[in-house]
């Protein structure tokens, strides 16, 4: 099972958009891979609808999306057809047909004692490094807005060298401010105090300082 900070495993997969090599197919881009327990199931259908109507928001952040289950590709195609005909949205992102469970096993997507994948999400950066992993059980659907928030937060963190608080950018304590990593030396503490006096940053204490971007 892979962990955060590892490279996404190199693998060739069958998808509704043809054969793809991962992570090479998204080289230089962020991508979000998510698994679902099965095609033609109620919760998964609501998730696919929800993802599709937010797909442009992911792309605005420079990220692509790809789905996965251990169903065969014809089932994916028929299900996507059903969604278009009955729910009025066309699934534009590829769906992996991992019918032998090879990638699902590598990524640890199949829970103990289960035959289908859990609701797993992997956020992968442009260098092919896994930056976030989220798991939900089959009976609980995911919130794609939270995945969008996490993706944006990772990008802001990388660009600015900061951390992001709970529920950023709508945190209850510091609103849309970002958190400055804690000081590691006495000189850094003094620097924080000077910056606070100048109004450059705000602090509850030297180890909890924040600022606007």
How far is residue 209's CA from residue 174's CA, in Å, rounded to a whole number?
10
> What token pair was written down for 46?
């609501």
CATH 3.40.50.720, applies to 161-213? no
How far is residue 103's CA from residue 126's CA, in Å, rounded to a whole number?
20
Q: What mean pLDDT do residues 111-130 have? A: 94
Positive or negative torsion for Cα 73, 78, 83, 84: positive
Domain boundaries, the chain: 11-142, 161-213
In this prediction, residue 73 carries a pLDDT of 97
Q: Is 209 a known active-site residue?
A: no
Q: Tens digit of pLDDT for each residue in 159-173?
A: 999 999 999 999 999
In this prediction, residue 115 carries a pLDDT of 85
Q: Tens digit of pLDDT for each residue in 194-205?
A: 999 999 999 999
In this prediction, residue 60 carries a pLDDT of 98
Residue 112 has pLDDT above 90, yes or no: no
Q: What mean pLDDT do residues 100-117 have? A: 91
Residue 68 has pLDDT above 90, yes or no: yes
CATH code at 11-142 = 3.40.30.10
Three-state SS for the chain is CCCCCCECCCEEEEECCEEEEECHHHCCCEEEEEECCCCCCHHHHHHHHHHHCCHHHHHHCCEEEEEEECCCHHHHHHHHHHHHHHHCCCCCCCEEECCCCHHHHHCCCCCCCCCCCCEEEEEECCCCEEEEEEEECCCCCCCHHHHHHHHHHHHHHHHHCCECCCCCCCECCCECCEEECCCCCHHHHHHHHHHHHCCCCEEEECCEEEECC
* Per annotation, catalytic residue among 32, 44, 104, 147: 44
């Amino acid at each position: 099972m892979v962990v955060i900070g590892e490279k996404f495993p190199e693998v060739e997969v069958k998808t509704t958009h043809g054969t793809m090599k991962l992570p090479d197919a998204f080289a230089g881009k962020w991508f979000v891979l998510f698994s679902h327990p099965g095609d033609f199931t109620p919760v998964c259908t609501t998730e696919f609808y929800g993802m599709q109507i937010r797909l442009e928001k992911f792309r605005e952040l420079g990220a692509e999306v790809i789905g996965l289950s251990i169903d065969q590709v014809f089932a994916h195609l028929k299900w996507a057809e059903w969604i278009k005909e009955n729910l009025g949205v066309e699934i534009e992102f590829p769906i992996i047909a991992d019918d032998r469970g090879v990638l699902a096993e590598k990524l640890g997507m199949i829970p103990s004692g289960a035959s289908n994948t859990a609701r797993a999400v992997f956020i992968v950066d442009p260098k092919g490094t896994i930056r976030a992993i989220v798991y939900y059980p089959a009976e609980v659907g995911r919130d794609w807005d939270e995945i969008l928030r996490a993706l944006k937060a990772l990008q802001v963190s990388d660009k600015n060298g900061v951390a992001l608080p709970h529920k950023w950018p709508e945190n209850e304590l510091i609103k849309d401010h970002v958190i400055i990593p804690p000081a590691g030396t006495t000189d850094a503490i003094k620097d924080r105090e000077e910056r606070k006096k100048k109004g450059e940053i705000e602090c509850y204490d030297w180890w909890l300082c924040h600022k606007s971007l």
